[in-house]
């Protein structure tokens, strides 16, 4: 990086934990959070209504009973949607949503489910990829909060910030 392309100390400080984000980044994070919550809550109706083609295929393939599998995924999506809508937990919720969507994308790519199970041009797969991307945007914007959380948690476990092993 050249000195001209490096962020100013003021800009870098605005991304530090406890400091307000620049307005445009905050708005972008909230737009992404609203998309994630909408996407998860919209598809919840199908997961709670009864068996779906996707979970029947995955159940047959994995041997996991369809209903518990479907309801477990629904619970994970409700949790992620809730967490991204609460300001204090938005960053963690986005990380959680990325995990849920990584699983969804993996099931589409590496199981008999395939990318286009409903023969609609892969709409569900495309939405999963976009939702993953929106979660990644939030994680990138709120990375300082996630790093601070990780340091706090590791500190409670006895790890030092220097990267040394935990104290015995």
Q: Chunked in runs of 10, what are the mean pLDDT values of the chain (168 residues)?
A: 46 54 92 98 95 95 96 98 97 98 97 95 97 98 92 85 58
**What is the rounded CA–CA span in Å between residue 34 and residue 47?**
20
Give the distance from CA 63 to its chain's centroid: 26
Question: For residue 158, what pLDDT is reported?
Answer: 84
Question: For residue 26, what pLDDT is reported?
Answer: 92
| Whether the Cβ atoms of residue 105 and residue 129 lie closer than 8 Å to each other | yes
Own/partner contacts of 37-40, CB < 8 Å, gap of 24 or more, are 37/81, 37/82, 37/84, 37/85, 39/127, 39/131, 40/77, 40/78, 40/80, 40/81, 40/97, 40/100, 40/131
Q: What's this model's pTM, rounded to 2 decimal places?
A: 0.81
């Amino acid at each position: 990086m050249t000195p001209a392309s490096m962020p100013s100390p003021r800009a870098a400080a605005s991304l530090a934990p406890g400091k307000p984000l620049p307005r445009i980044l905050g708005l972008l994070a909230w737009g992404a959070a609203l998309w994630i919550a909408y996407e998860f809550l919209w598809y919840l109706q199908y997961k709670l209504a009864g068996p779906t083609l996707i979970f029947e295929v995955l159940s047959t393939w994995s041997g996991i009973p369809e209903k518990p599998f479907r309801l477990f995924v629904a619970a994970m999506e409700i949790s992620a949607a809730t967490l991204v809508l609460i300001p204090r937990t938005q960053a963690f919720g986005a990380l959680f949503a990325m995990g849920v969507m990584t699983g969804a994308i993996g099931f589409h790519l590496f199981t008999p489910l395939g990318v286009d199970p409903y023969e609609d041009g892969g709409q569900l797969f495309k939405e999963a990829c976009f939702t993953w991307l929106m979660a990644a945007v939030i994680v990138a914007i709120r990375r300082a909060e996630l790093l601070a959380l990780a340091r706090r948690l590791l500190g409670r476990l006895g790890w030092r910030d220097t990267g040394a092993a935990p104290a015995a």
